[in-house]
Amino acid sequence: MPYSSVLLSKIIKDFDIEVVYDPGDIESRRICVADCTRPGLQLAGYYDHFGPDRIQVIGNMEHAYLDNLDSGARHRSFDELFSKEIPAILITRNHEIHDELLDSAKVYSTPVLRTSAATSDIITEIVAYLRTELAPRISMHGVLVEVNGEGILILGESGVGKSETALEIVKRGHRLIADDQVDIRKVSDTTLVGSAPEVIRHLIEIRGIGILDVKELYGVSSVKSSENIDFVINLERWDDNKTYDRLGLSDETTEILGLKVPSITIPVAPGRNLAIIVEVAAINFRVKKMGYNAAKDLVSRVFPGGQT
């Protein structure tokens, strides 16, 4: 489900923004749109297609325009802007704040913020931040590891061996992102990012041993806070009545938050080294992305010219 809003106070804290005027509700004020607006046209009186639910950012150009107005014109411009019930106004490059701006902010109870950052830089950073914070998200029971640069989400029923596989993968020099519960965010139309809930970050549960802190056992290089989900491996108990893909010609996918992620299903049976299988699957997935498919190459050798 999507997160509907982000606290303005959290944005202020995370970006080290100065609060010039607080109407008293910054701690409860929320931002609901992953965008910012530079209200140049609005200050000149044009409000068609204006988005009042965005943080409004005053940069060099807007500040220079306002400097060229007389006090009365500035007052009218700010009054009209603040009357749209904007969530906050942010002044960049530590510009001096016009008295008329503060007057209007107090009348309409609008927070006034200031930063030393360049306008384009702070807008880019805040928009990227908001897209992540407001992204649709879901929690899934599984394990997320990074293997040779690929984010591998391992799914399967409880007791199938996900955590044990993840631990062996870490011992082989790869990294753990999350065990047991994976928080997944859809940060763009093509990208899913997974992470662990803060309370269980870097922890892994092994039946018969208990809770282990992977970071403490194997060092900081063995863990990572988040990772893109590139590939899904579904572990299931071996079923003698089921026919499994032996060549790897089928293109299987797992749908998460509306995105279809490439995936495979691996049957679990005694004697199978799942960590090595997952590692090889990750390498093979990368090779396929680079344009080579061993199964299709074999078929082309057996059936030259495309004959079947």
Which residues carry out catalysis?
141, 162, 180, 246
Beta bridge mates, 116: none
Question: The tokens of 54 are what?
Answer: 């965005």
Cβ pair 127, 104 in contact under 8 A: no
Question: The tokens of 132 are what?
Answer: 């992540």
Q: Is 148 left (phi over 0), alpha (psi -120 to 50) or beta?
A: left
Return the ∠ at Cα 146 (arms to 142 and 151), rounded to 5°. Answer: 70
Parallel, antiparallel, or unpaired for β 55-58 and 36-37? parallel
Residue with tokens 């194997």: 218
Cβ pair 167, 206 in contact under 8 A: yes
**What 3-state DSSP class applies to 26?**
coil
DSSP 66-102: HHTS-HHHHHHHHHHHHTT--S-EEE-TTPPPPHHHH
Number of Cβ within 10 Å of residue 38's Cβ equals 18
> Strands (DSSP E) along the chain, which ranges?
6-7, 18-21, 30-31, 36-37, 55-58, 89-91, 112-114, 137-147, 150-155, 175-186, 192-195, 203-206, 210-213, 226-228, 231-237, 252-256, 259-268
Distance CA 81, CA 101 (A): 10
Residue with tokens 């062996």: 168
DSSP code of residue 223: B
